[in-house]
Structure formats: structure tokens, C-alpha cells
Amino acid sequence: MATQGKQKHYSFFRNVEISFDKASRFTKWETGVLEQIKACNSVYRMRFPVKIGEEVEVIEAYRVQHSHHKLPCKGGIRFSEEVNQDEVMALAALMTYKCAIVNVPFGGAKGGIRINPRKYTAYELEKITRRYTAELVKKNFIGPGVDVPAPDYGTGEREMSWILDTYTSLRPGEIDGLGCVTGKPLSQGGVRGRKEATGLGVFYGLREVCNNKQDMKRLKLSPGIEGKKIIVQGMGNVGYHAAKFFHQAGAKVICLIEWDGAIYNPKGLDPDEVLRHRAETGSIKGFPGSRDLKKNTEGLELECDILIPAALENVVHGDNAGRIRARIIGEAANGPLTPEADDILNKKGALVVPDMFLNAGGVTVSYFEWLKNLSHVRYGRLEKRFSENMNHHILGQIEGLTGKKVTSNEREFIEHGADEVDLVYSGLEETMITAVKEIREIWQSNREIHDMRTAAFVNAINKVGESYAQLGIFP
Ligand code: GLU
């Protein structure tokens, strides 16, 4: 979305620093510690040649490790024409805070390649990805104990398997080599549930927020998800899955916004049908039963309960924030609101649920995938059958004692032992709920903290500061 140039001196990294500074005065750390937490530890900027057709193209790429307070570093790799050093630094910083908020023991990192993936063939993208990985290996910027990339905007399972294959062929025999990247396909050491993890985390996070009666009363909304009017901007992996989980839970997805258009239907849209329509026609526009909006950005300003920006940064800024009518803004993307927009929306009394908490589902399940790779065993493999036998036995005893039988549906449900996907989903649900509780505790403990982002930042800064203190760097 071409919104980046709208503000004159736009620096995404500076925006993250502004939010950090706003929160840091509520922490106990001295300036030096705060400066260390804020700074990007290592920035690797590379340029490498790749033969595209008959010509050599010089590719610009980055990997930034924001914090080494815990290792490995962790964060996705983005393929986009907007990629630049400032953006990758900001995204890496957000990863540090994100991991701290959901208690995932990693430092933050991010990578980016400045290309429009739509302009290259799969073969060319493979060459670029493999060369990028080789550059990371050369400088020890990738490895299961060093730095572990993952998908981000413009990348997915396919790119992750190229990275894995390149890494393992350059480092043969490394026993934990599978853990050098996450978001892999299942057949290459991936974990069930990773693909939908960020969208599902957005759903779990917002559901928990909406279950708070006091907050909902203040926002003049009823508690719960059912019947809530939702707008989702971006129908990539995150936006599509978030929309799908809200739709399944009985919310009304009234508007979907893509880079080339937006559709509106007050009765609600089925995200799966919209995706099918896009696959057939090449665009979400013209979806039967819905109205095409004149400008896609118009969709952001429609009346709704929850607005979910799920694409790129800086889509809500000083110029349009005043026109946003949503009561809750759920930041599924990284940095979709500028600090100016954040202030305007907070002053209007809206609830902004911040990115570094709300979109942490992806990295949470990446953590589960990495653990699976290091343990070399699928989740549930050891206990599934044991639990089923035990459940069967207990149910038999209860039926024998009561003289009553449960229905076959209930039997299936009670006896079922946890599969990998059950464990991943419940681990994610628990993580998101615990994170909301921690943030809310901080928020309620200090009347001067006026917004959820500041509370989330305070939580993150405290945790990162604490682990620096434990390392003995700051006695
Ligand atoms: N790119 C995702 C994010 O921004 C996932 C990162 C990961 O799984 O390491 O959180």
C-alpha cells in the first residue's frame, strides 16, 4: 500500500523509539540500560549479484539483530520493494519486545530483501533466497542457536524450505540444523498450526480483550465476539486467517480491504468465499453480494467495532486517524499506526491493541516449532495413545458406576488424546491470555499509563532489562 511517503520525515525506527521513550519512564531502569535495550546490536547490510534472465541484478538485503539479551535472535524475512535499513531495524526492535511480552526466550531480529516478489519467477526467487542464506551463513547470521528467520510479508513456507536446504547443505551433519529457520512446510520439520498462528493469535488476543466487561462498558460495546462488526485490511496470511477465525466465532466481517480494492457487505463476508473469488478472478473486487468501495483506504474509515490492519506499517497516520470510527483497533500488522495516529485514537477513546502483543502468535508458534526441531519428536507422539487409553478407562468406570452411557460424539470428545495441532493451539491460546493479563496488571497498577501500548512496552522493557541485569552487564 503506497502510504509510506505521506509523512515527511517518516522513520519507522524513530516511531518505535518514541513509543519506547513514552513507556520507559514507568520503569526502574537508568538511562544507560534503557539505551542498550533500545539500540540495534548488529546491522548486516548486504548487496549481492543474481543473474536474472540475461542480466545481473544487484540485490539489496538486510538482517538486523536488535537484541542479544537472549539467544537465538528471532524474526521473519520480508520481501518487499519498501524494504530499507530503517524499516528492518524497527521490525527487529519490535520482535525483541514481542518475544518478551509473550515470554518467548529469544532476542529480536528481522531480515528483508528489497524486491517485489511478483516481478520474479519462482526460479529467480529461489536463486535470490539461496544466495541471501549463503550470505547469512558466511557471517554467522543464521543458525539454530544464533539467529532463526521465519516468514513475513511476501514470504512463506516455500522460501523457508529454500533457506533450510541451503543452510543444511552448507553446514552438513549439524544435528539441530532443522531449527535454523521456522515456518517450514510440515514435511521439512514444520509444526502443525504455524501457518494460521498469527491470525489465530490475533483472534485469541482480541477475544480476551473483548471478554473484559469493564473495558467493553467504557467502549460502549457488549462483551464477547459474537455479532461484532469487523473490518480487516490485508488478505495475506495474517489478515485472511484473522478474518476466518472471527467469522467462525460469529462475528460479522463487514469489509475486506486489499491493495487493489475493497469490498463491503453489512451482512458479513465469508473470507473463504472471498479468497475463492480472488483465485478465480485475480481480485477481491466484484465479489457477489458486496459493494466495491471507490478507494480502498475508504474501508478503514467505515463504522465498525473492530478494525484490524493486517498488512504493512503506517496505514493509519495523522491525516486519516481522525476519521477512523472503530472502537477497537487490533494491530495485526507491525506498526500500522504512527505515534501521531495512536495519540489521536487514544484521545478519541478508542482502544488500540498493540502489534507487539497482538501479532505475537506467529513467533510463539515458531518457538514451538524450534522446540520440536531441537527435540526431534512430534508433539503428542509420546502421550497421545496413553491419554486415550486412560480416558477410555476412566469413562468406562464412570459409566459403570452411574449406569448411564454418553453419546458417541461425547465419547469421541472425552477420549481424544492431544494431537500436535491441539497442543499448539492450546499453547498459543494460553500464551495470548497470559500476555493480556500481564499487560492489564501493569496498566491498572499505574494511573498515569493511559494506553495499552505503553503498558505492553513497560512489560517488555522490564523483562529485557531484567535479563540484562541477570547477565551481570548492568550491576
Ligand atoms: N514475521 C513474524 C512476526 O513479525 C514471525 C516471526 C517469527 O516467527 O520468528 O512476528
Per-residue model confidence as pLDDT tens digits over 256-268: 999 889 999 999 9
* Residue that the C-alpha cell 523483562 belongs to: 463
The whole-angstrom separation of Cα 18 and Cα 384 is 48
The alpha carbon torsion through 459, 421, 385, 397 (nearest 10 deg) reads 70
How do 147-151 and 73-79 pair as beta strands? parallel
Evaluated on CA atoms 383, 384, 389, 390, the torsion sign reads positive
* pLDDT at res. 471: 73
Which of the residues are catalytic?
A: 110
Question: What rounded mean pLDDT belongs to the chain?
Answer: 95
Nearest ligand 1 atom, CA 77: 1
pLDDT grade for 169, boundaries at 50, 70 and 90: very high
User: What is the reported pTM?
Assistant: 0.95
Nearest residue to 82 via CA among 153, 173, 168: 153
**Residue 380 clears pLDDT 90, i.e. is over it:** yes
With a pLDDT cut of 90, the percent of the chain lying above it is 95
Nearest residue to 262 via CA among 229, 237, 231: 231
Q: Where are the domains of the chain?
A: 43-188, 191-383+418-475
pLDDT grade for 121, boundaries at 50, 70 and 90: very high
Nearest ligand 1 atom, CA 75: 9
The reply to whether 43-188 and 191-383+418-475 are identical in fold is: yes
DSSP conformation letters of 82-120: T--HHHHHHHHHHHHHHHHHTT---EEEEEEE-S-GGGS
Single-letter code of the amino acid located at 416: H
Distance of CA 159 to the CA centre of its chain: 18
pLDDT grade for 470, boundaries at 50, 70 and 90: confident
Nearest ligand 1 atom, CA 74: 9
Superfamily classification of domain 43-188: Leucine Dehydrogenase, chain A, domain 1 (3.40.50.10860)
Grid coordinates in use for 14? 524513530
| Predicted confidence (pLDDT) per residue in 290-332, tens digit | 999 999 889 999 999 999 999 988 999 999 999 999 999 999 9
The alpha carbon torsion through 325, 326, 331, 336 (nearest 10 deg) reads -10
Grid coordinates in use for 180? 535454523
Judging by beta carbons within 10 Å of its beta carbon (0-12, 13-18, 19+), is residue 25 exposed, middle or buried? exposed
| Predicted confidence (pLDDT) per residue in 390-415, tens digit | 999 999 999 999 999 999 999 999 99
Q: Write out residues with Cβ below 6 Å of ligand 1.
A: 74-76, 150, 152, 182, 334, 359, 362-363, 366
Single-letter code of the amino acid located at 254: I
pLDDT grade for 468, boundaries at 50, 70 and 90: confident
The whole-angstrom separation of Cα 385 and Cα 92 is 41
Say how many Å lie between the CA of residue 410 and the centre of ligand 1: 37
Residue range 188-215: average pLDDT?
A: 97
Residue range 7-23: average pLDDT?
A: 86
The whole-angstrom separation of Cα 34 and Cα 431 is 26
CB 197 within 8 A of CB 361: yes
Mutate to test the pocket of ligand 1, among 363, 370, 373 (most ligand atoms within 8 A of CB): 363
Say how many Å lie between the CA of residue 219 and the centre of ligand 1: 30
Instruction: State the helix-helix crossing angle for 452-471 and 12-24, rounded to 10 degrees.
Output: 80
CA distances in angstroms from 306 to 160, 210, 242, 260, 453, listed in the order given: 32, 10, 12, 22, 17
Say how many Å lie between the CA of residue 54 and the centre of ligand 1: 35
| Predicted confidence (pLDDT) per residue in 37-94, tens digit | 999 999 999 999 999 999 999 999 999 999 999 999 999 999 999 999 999 999 999 9
How do 261-264 and 252-258 pair as beta strands? antiparallel
The whole-angstrom separation of Cα 410 and Cα 416 is 10
Nearest residue to 374 via CA among 17, 126, 105: 105
The whole-angstrom separation of Cα 119 and Cα 136 is 24
The whole-angstrom separation of Cα 323 and Cα 25 is 31
Class for the domain spanning 191-383+418-475: alpha beta
pLDDT grade for 385, boundaries at 50, 70 and 90: very high
**Residue 3 clears pLDDT 50, i.e. is over it:** no
